[in-house]
Amino acid sequence: MHDLLPRLSPDLTAEARRPLSASMFGGDVREVWLEIGFGGGEHLLWHARRNRDVGLIGAEPFEDGVVKVLAAVEDEALNNVRVHADDARALLRWLPDAAIDRAFVLFPDPWPKRRHQKRRLVNPSFLQALARVLRPGAELRIGTDIGDYARTMLMAFQTTPEFAWQAQSPSDWRIRPDDWPETRYEAKAVREGRRSAYLRFVRTPH
């Protein structure tokens, strides 16, 4: 946290420079992906290991997950990972327009109590912030194991024409794609008998 994190963290006090592939990753990557709330880092690290030519920016405010990712980055020399150890919304405000090629929001906190549901991350204003930083044609992947949250997510997308849902049949959101690794939160949902929804959207050219 003291030695490695400062070297991997984007400096939000300085202006973000395009392209991110050069300013953040030294030009060694062809695309830049963003994961918001990476939890224990399973999904982020899976992609970092298999896509060495992709730069991954992960945002996570909780220290335990950040430490796990930093340890893996150091042990495995994963030079394509950057970490924002704080709220993702500040990072979204900092990122340039149309700078991200793919984004992930996997199993965000569902805030199940009705009086807390206004705290849910995925809402129209959050989607507008994501739409700004995603390039046209970029993919957004969202996962949840809470049926009510999936419903409110889809309602938020209905008011955000910048995204087009890619589902053509129920299997498109019921079956996890091969390049979408399981997270520990999803594994917990499986153990507890909850079905997950795998929602994929594309940033439209609006």
Residue 3: left if φ>0, alpha if ψ -120 to 50, beta else—which one?
Answer: alpha
Spell out the alpha helix ranges (H) of 20-170: 20-23, 42-50, 63-76, 88-94, 124-133, 147-158
Which of 105, 101, 51, 103 lies closest to 78 in space, CA to CA?
51
Residue type, 199: L
Q: How far apart are CA 91 and CA 36, in angstroms?
A: 10
The torsion angles phi and psi of 197, rounded to 5 degrees, stand at -115, 130
Active-site annotation holds for 109: yes
Cβ atoms of 176 and 145 closer than 8 Å:
no
The residue from 97, 109, 148, 179 that is catalytic is: 109
Q: Which residues are catalytic?
A: 109
